[in-house]
Amino acid sequence: MDGKLVRDRIPEIIRAGGAEPISYRADEAEYRRRLREKLLEEVDEFLAADEATAVEELADILEVVYALATDLGTSREALETVRAVKAAERGGFTDRVVWTGVR
């Protein structure tokens, strides 16, 4: 089936522009699949973005991540807790460490 997952208000915005959108509500399985496709799409857009639009694209990724978390039965807050615990145990990515192997 064609189409792609879009933000909830997109049909409303299209109607406000004078056109009639053609859309439907995905079932759970399709929604999960399309969320993952959307994540790849948004990551690709982020990777292609320049500095002027990179933050906006990163926000789109975050929105999809939040939707994925909800679909997996967790909240933004619980996801953040998992992230914080992992960061406390293993660190984040701010020190720019690149691993090349062991001796």
Please tell me the predicted confidence (pLDDT) of residue 1.
59
The two three-digit tokens of residue 37, written as one number = 């496709």
10-residue mean pLDDT profile of the chain (103 residues): values are 92 97 96 98 98 97 98 96 97 96 95
* Domain definitions of the chain by residue range: 27-90
If you count DSSP H runs as helices and E runs as strands, how many of each does the chain have, helices first? 4, 0
| Percent helix / strand / coil, the chain, rounded to 5 | 60, 0, 40
This prediction has a pTM of: 0.89
What pLDDT, on the 0 to 100 scale, is given for residue 8?
97
